[in-house]
Amino acid sequence: MVATASTSSRFCQEHDSDAYRRTLKDLFLDHTEWAAYDDLKDVCDDQKWQSLYEEFERQFADDRQKLIAMYVHEGDLEKAFAELKDSDDLSSVRRYRDPVATVDPVEYFECYHELLVPFAAGETGRRHYRTIADHLEGMQQLVPEERFEEFVDFLKEKHSNRPAFLDELEKAGF
């Protein structure tokens, strides 16, 4: 069978499209290039995209940070929240607070609370205490004032033997 010009042209387009998709996929997987991710999504049909998305989820199963970032990028905040709850990474809970806490602010606060308590107990020093105060500022809008004040009072009581800690909280307005 002899290939016609249009058949051969179509084959080249499809082949080039595959190469382009592979390049975009590699850029995303190797360098977390979100523009490549978005372009890849644009050039895939729904079925192909679903398959790639599931592949990315499997690929990032051991890299919770990339998985959470992908879920947030996709707007799948429930999945991002589930991953954050299963993590013990206080900085990620802080980083994704604004988009993800909207899923359930009170539960997000509790997750944040569970991570901040041992963090607060872990070190001493003004820099550490200022970091705690920064976390508290971010947590403040998640729950009613009364619940937030209970938590701050708990921290003050628990660390009442640390005058610098109490001083830093007071400087921050707590």
Enumerate the domain spans of the chain: 104-174
Tell me which of 146 and 9 has the higher pLDDT.
146
Report if pTM > 0.85.
no
The whole-angstrom separation of Cα 127 and Cα 174 is 16
pLDDT at 109 (0 to 100): 96
Q: For 51-95, write each residue's pLDDT tens digit.
A: 999 999 999 999 999 999 999 999 999 999 999 999 889 999 999
DSSP state of 3: P
